[in-house]
């Protein structure tokens, strides 16, 4: 008889199946288009698109075998071939009886997108650029990036599937705008599907993964160098990590800035626990320790770039220190531990030339040697053109200098110009009027 025997391929002799195999589909044919195609013949219960190396094959599964037969026989005798988007598609019975695992995550709308970045320089696309691109459609909760055989990929988590879908439809197969990429980076095209994930687990902030709902997540150990110093910041660049200890350098120091002045300025944002001043690069720097990172962050944001005195004098440059707990051995005019009132205050001889050793030993840092202290702290003070010294009158000496175990004073209480003497903190808004700290998109 006309037996099919064991003829595997290239014959119209596949035994009937509820599942039809389609080929020569337009690229990235959608499930909707497949359903549209099969609907006239019966109920499409399952589809699978983007099959095969070229992603131009698909499967349609009907509820009933007769429906599949109806479709095959219709197009077998039709003058018009089956078409999707004007392109002829070829149908035959599948050699399987049902579609397996059709709902590959990529087809199910979810709140997490799987983004493949195509292009020679795909790997150079930073997580921050991705964040920027996808944030246009809603709050991006988390992003993880990874390298797979598919190339450089990212998972981008939105609040809900609707937001994710809007981003997907707008961005799929489009290229990242050039102006968002460094000049040397070539075109990068985004291929976007849904991911099966609903909530990414981001254990650390790093250059590969980010949790924007939790900015205080610890930074990845991989981003911490040998000395325990975190070297990769939240934007993946060499930004310093936040710390409860600030490193302040003072630019254009026309007037002497004393420990007490620093204490007063920084106390406006919370209790200052310890201060250590030292000379570095011909200027003066100070480490200011708060009990917590948040306070330090607020102080840094408020004070950075501001001048202690009017006229652009004693401009503060503030960065986060690598230290978390300063070890103050002796209270003197350059270092003080405000948390321990009974440390003896050593009345040291004035050290105009800055030779007075700083009485502190910070963890993870070798003993202070005067020149190599905190070598990796970011703040490098630009040398002020004008010199400074004892010839310049120390203006702030009339300032109120209550310093021992001074309780926390809310912002503004210390820095009102009326209380501060000449021109204190006038280079812009005093901390009391600074806008509240905003940390990107928290929540």
Partner DNA sequence: AGCACA
Residue with smaller CB distance to DNA, 106 or 401: 106
Q: How far is the CB of 19 from DNA (least distance, A)?
A: 6
Distance CA 39, CA 49 (A): 16
Task: Give whichever of 61 and 242 is closer to DNA, judged by the CB atom.
Answer: 61
Q: Which is nearer to DNA, 54 or 413 (CB)?
A: 54
Q: Which is nearer to DNA, 106 or 220 (CB)?
A: 106
Bridge partner list, 309: 313
| Nearest distance from C-beta of residue 117 to DNA, angstroms | 15
Q: How far is the CB of 13 from DNA (least distance, A)?
A: 9
369 CB-near residues (< 8 Å, 6+ apart)? none
Nearer to DNA, 23 or 329 (CB): 23
Burial annotation 188-209 (CB, 10 A radius, 16+ → b, else e): bebbbbbbebeebebebbbbbb
Query: For residue 198, what are its two tokens?
Result: 């609903």
Tell me if 258 sits within 8 A of 266, measured CB to CB. no
The number of beta carbons lying within 10 Å of the beta carbon of residue 182 is: 11
For the bound state, the minimum distance from the C-beta of residue 433 to DNA, rounded and expressed in Å, comes to 51
Measured distance CA(126)–CA(359) in Å, rounded: 42
Tell the smallest beta-carbon distance from residue 106 to DNA (Å). 7
CB of 109 to DNA, least distance (A): 17
Tell whether the torsion through CA atoms of 155, 158, 162 and 165 is positive or negative: negative
Return the number of the residue (23 or 439) whose C-beta is nearest DNA: 23
DSSP H stretches of helix in 136-225 = 161-171
Q: Which is nearer to DNA, 14 or 135 (CB)?
A: 14
Tokens of 154: 């990212």
Minimum gap (Å) between residue 85 Cβ and DNA? 14
Taking a C-beta distance cutoff of 8 angstroms, is the pair 234, 204 a contact? no
Residues that bind DNA (CB under 7 A): 9-12, 14, 19, 21, 23-24, 48, 51-52, 54, 56-57, 59, 90, 92-96, 98-102, 104, 106, 150
Q: Please state, in angstroms and rounded to a whole number, the distance separating the CA atoms of residues 160 and 198.
A: 9
Asked if 71 contacts 62 with a C-beta cutoff of 8 angstroms, the reply is yes
Find all residues with CB under 8 Å of 157, minimum gap 6, and list them. 111, 112, 113, 140, 141, 142, 143, 197, 199, 200
The smaller minimum CB distance to DNA, of residues 10 and 179, is found at: 10
Report in angstroms how near the CB of residue 203 gets to DNA at its nearest. 18
| Gap between the Cα atoms of 141 and 138, Å rounded | 9
- Would you state the structure tokens that stand for residue 192, as one six-digit string? 């976007």
Q: Where are the alpha helices (DSSP H) in 2-122?
A: 31-38, 65-77
- Select 201 or 347, whichever has its Cβ closest to DNA: 201
Q: How far is the CB of 76 from DNA (least distance, A)?
A: 12
92 or 339: CB nearest DNA: 92
How would you write 207-230 as a 3-class SS string?
A: CCEEECCCCCCCECHHHECCCCCE
Residue 63 CB, shortest distance to DNA, in Å, is 16
d(CA 254, CA 313): 6
The partner residues of 246 in beta bridges, in order of sequence, read 288, 320
Reduced to 3 states (helix: H, G, I; strand: E, B; else coil), residue 20 is strand
24/294 with CB nearer DNA: 24
Quote the CA–CA distance of 271 and 274 in Å, as a whole number. 9
Shortest distance (Å) from residue 133 CB to DNA: 21
């Amino acid at each position: 008889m006309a037996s099919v025997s064991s003829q595997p391929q290239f014959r119209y002799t596949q035994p009937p199946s509820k599942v039809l195999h389609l080929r020569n589909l337009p690229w990235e044919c959608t499930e909707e288009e497949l359903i549209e195609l099969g609907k006239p013949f019966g109920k499409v219960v399952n589809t699978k698109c983007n099959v095969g190396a070229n992603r131009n094959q698909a499967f349609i599964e009907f509820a009933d075998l007769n429906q599949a037969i109806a479709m095959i026989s219709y197009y077998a005798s039709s003058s018009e071939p089956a078409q999707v988007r004007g392109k002829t598609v070829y149908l035959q019975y599948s050699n399987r009886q049902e579609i397996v695992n059709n709902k590959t995550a990529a087809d199910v709308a979810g709140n997490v997108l799987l983004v493949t970045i195509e292009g020679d320089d795909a790997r150079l696309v930073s997580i921050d650029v991705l964040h920027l691109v996808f944030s246009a459609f809603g709050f991006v909760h988390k992003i993880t990036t990874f390298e797979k055989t598919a190339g450089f990929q990212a998972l981008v988590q939105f609040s809900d599937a609707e937001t994710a879908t809007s981003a997907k439809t707008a961005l799929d197969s489009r290229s990242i705008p050039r102006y968002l990429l460094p000049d040397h980076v070539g075109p990068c095209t985004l291929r976007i599907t849904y991911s099966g994930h609903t909530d990414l687990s981001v254990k650390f902030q790093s250059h590969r993964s980010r949790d924007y709902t939790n900015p205080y997540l610890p930074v990845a150990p991989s981003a911490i160098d040998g000395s325990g110093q975190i070297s990769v910041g939240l934007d993946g660049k060499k930004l310093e990590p936040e710390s409860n200890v600030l490193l302040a350098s003072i630019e254009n120091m026309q007037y002497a800035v004393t420990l007490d002045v620093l204490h007063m300025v920084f106390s406006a944002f919370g209790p200052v626990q310890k201060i250590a001043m030292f000379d570095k690069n011909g200027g003066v720097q100070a480490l200011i320790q708060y009990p917590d990172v948040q306070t330090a962050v607020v102080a840094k944001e408020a004070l950075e770039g501001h001048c202690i005195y009017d006229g652009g004098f004693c401009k503060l440059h503030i960065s986060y220190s690598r230290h978390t707990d300063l070890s103050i051995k002796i209270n003197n005019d350059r270092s003080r531990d405000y948390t321990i009132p009974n440390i003896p205050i050593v009345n040291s001889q004035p050290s105009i030339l800055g030779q007075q050793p700083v009485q502190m030993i910070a963890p993870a840092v070798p003993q202070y040697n005067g020149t190599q202290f905190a070598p990796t702290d970011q703040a490098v003070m630009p040398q002020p053109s004008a010199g400074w010294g004892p010839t310049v009158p120390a203006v702030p000496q009339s300032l109120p200098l209550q310093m021992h175990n001074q309780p926390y004073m809310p912002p503004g209480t210390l820095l009102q110009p009326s209380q501060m003497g000449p021109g204190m903190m006038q280079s812009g808004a005093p901390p009391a009027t600074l806008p509240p700290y905003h940390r990107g998109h928290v929540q």
